[in-house]
Structure 1
Amino acid sequence: MKKLFLFFSLLSLSFVFGQNQQIFVKKLDSLDVKADNYLGQDQFDFYYYIRNTILFKFKDDQSFEYKNTSFGEITKIDIQNPLKIVLFYENFNAVVLLDNQLNEIQQLNFSENTNSILASATGIAAQNQLWVYNSLNQQLGLFNYLKNEYKTISTAFAENIKYYQTDFNTFYWIDDKNNWFSCDIFGRIKTKGKIPDFDTVAIINEHQFIYSKNNKLFLEDFEKKQKHEIELSEKTFKKFYYKDQILSIFTSKGIMNYKITTP
């Protein structure tokens, strides 16, 4: 009888533990958007996406678009500051800055700089600067777009960048071996840990990240040493985007927004 009681106790604990490893989300709304790539949502609730190399921005009955026939395909877009949107054109070693109505403010051609720069990663940083990873010396630098000045701030990266993400004060990257690092504006590099194999990934903060693998979505916390599977109704999706506990799933049908509470 005691053995039977112990068996059911362990079974119950196992069930509870299994439940704790899942995160259930609440669907908020959906948008019917035909896009090649979904970029995310800014703090003013505008959505951004790319279709046929054209950047679109919309909310309710407001919409804007930007197209650059000279540079063509956009490599990456940074929408952290909606008043200064950063478009990176890696094939042309150039960046274009846009205002909140997608009007062009400034074009930056790194090939024309007095320093030898071949950019393979960019993003907006603090104090009128851009993060720029220079693949010529494999070092990270800061480019002041008002003064047209560039300074190297880091030592050389040991491996190539597989994925990167920036905020105003930190440059995050994952290398070819799935090692996760961060670098602040003073050039201080920290090793965060090793990321599981992924199809796509998004860094939430210094110790949490969301990643997808084989159309399954997971949230992992290095600090708490926890891993959770995020339960979605969509069985296939192209991309996901996370911001302020809103998880957006991009599929062939459009964008589905979910409320998610991170552990």
Structure 2
Amino acid sequence: MVKYIFLLFTALVAAQTQIELAAGPTITFKADQFIAIDNFETMYFVRGNILYKKPKDKPAINYSNVQLGFPTTVNAFNPLKINVFYQDFNTIVILDNRLAEIFKVDFNTKQPYKNVTHVSTGFDNLLWIFNQDLQQLELYNYKNDKIRATTVPVQSNVLGLASDYNYCWMLTEKYLYQYTYFGSLISKLPNRGYTSFTVDNENVILKTETSLFYKSKNAEIVSALTTPKLLINQFLLTNETLYIYDSEILHKYQLKLK
């Protein structure tokens, strides 16, 4: 009995562990959506209905689609196949590294019809899409219009979707799910007030209304981040570097992980 009480106490203490941040340089710019920043400090962001790619110390290039209007989400995990999702038109546009169109998927023309609400990048020509009508994730090959894998339907609203070449994470009002490339569920973390999240190298940053939390890929423990008091409009994780955008300034912090 004493052993179990000790283990429970240890788990509770670990779950309340604070991770400190070391502040780095800031960047001032205006954007409606801050999409990504890579190891070479190339930034992707949306202003109005225009997607910008801004390499460090070089002019920006941009993409816009007048017919489709404002992009709902943009995923630049694979910079050679950037997907731009227009939810109002149920359409995805795939761009190359010069932001030129290389493929377009209009789900309104597909049989059976798909009502898609969330999109994220998969391997090669694959996309993770959430089919609202079936309430399930689908791994979709946009080149041959085939479904490679599906997940068990979920019973609550989806808040966010993120992926890499091996896994997909889906945040709902009840859980954060992690799936394999074959659509198999491998973990399910209770949602304790999380509203959004970001993933890098299988490590997850979760956000509540006022705070950020960190979950390592090697542990089930969720630790609080000691963030400064600023507006967290958007946030990203890149190689243990946390970026927080407050609508005017991009703040850079290094995670002090033990």
TM-score normalised by L of structure 1: 0.82
Alignment equivalent of 2:150, drawn from 130, 135, 153: 153
SS in 1 for 2:68: coil
For the residues of structure 2 that align with 1:82 and 1:198, how far apart are their CA atoms? 28
1:5 is aligned to none
Cα distance, 1:224–1:73 mapped onto 2, change above 3 Å: same
Q: Does residue 114 in structure 1 map to residue 111 in structure 2?
A: yes
For the residues of structure 1 that align with 2:135 and 2:220, how far apart are their CA atoms? 31
Percent identity over paired residues: 25
2:89 is aligned to 92
SS in 1 for 2:30: coil
2:211 is aligned to 216
Contact 1:28 1:259 in 2 (8 A): yes
Superposed displacement of residue 92, structure 1: 0.7
Matches within 5 A, 1:120-199: 120-177=117-174, 179-199=175-195
Runs of 4 or more, structure 1, over 6 Å off, are: none
Cα distance, 1:137–1:257 mapped onto 2, change above 3 Å: same
SS in 2 for 1:71: coil
Q: Does residue 37 in structure 1 map to residue 53 in structure 2?
A: no
Contact 1:199 1:212 in 2 (8 A): yes
For the residues of structure 2 that align with 1:226 and 1:213, how far apart are their CA atoms? 16
Alignment equivalent of 1:249, drawn from 216, 226, 244: 244
Matched residue type, 1:26: A
Matched residue type, 2:251: M
For the residues of structure 2 that align with 1:142 and 1:236, how far apart are their CA atoms? 35
Aligned alpha-carbon RMSD (Å): 2.4
Matched residue type, 2:31: A
Superposed displacement of residue 85, structure 1: 0.3
Q: 102-111 vs 91-100, which deviates more? A: 102-111
For the residues of structure 1 that align with 2:110 and 2:93, how far apart are their CA atoms? 15
For the residues of structure 2 that align with 1:131 and 1:253, how far apart are their CA atoms? 31
Cα distance, 1:172–1:226 mapped onto 2, change above 3 Å: closer
Q: Can you list the C-alpha shifts for 1:205-262, whole angstroms capped at 9, x where unaligned?
A: 65x5322334332224596454433223343231211111111010133101112133
Gaps of 5+ in 2: 1-12
Matched residue type, 2:231: T
Cα distance, 1:187–1:199 mapped onto 2, change above 3 Å: closer
For the residues of structure 1 that align with 2:200 and 2:96, how far apart are their CA atoms? 26
Q: Does residue 75 in structure 1 map to residue 61 in structure 2?
A: no
Matches within 5 A, 1:220-235: 220=215, 224=219, 226-235=221-230
Superposed displacement of residue 78, structure 1: 0.9
Q: Can you list the C-alpha shifts for 1:58-93, whole angstroms capped at 9, x where unaligned?
A: 022231111111111211111111011001111111
2:53 is aligned to 57
In the alignment of these two chains, the number of paired residues is: 244
For the residues of structure 1 that align with 2:208 and 2:191, how far apart are their CA atoms? 12
For the residues of structure 1 that align with 2:192 and 2:53, how far apart are their CA atoms? 33
Name which one, 1 or 2, has greater alpha-carbon Rg: 1
SS in 2 for 1:62: coil
Cα distance, 1:109–1:241 mapped onto 2, change above 3 Å: same
Q: Can you list the C-alpha shifts for 1:138-178, whole angstroms capped at 9, x where unaligned?
A: 2222222222333552232233312221112222112222x
Contact 2:94 2:102 in 1 (8 A): yes
Cα distance, 1:153–1:213 mapped onto 2, change above 3 Å: closer
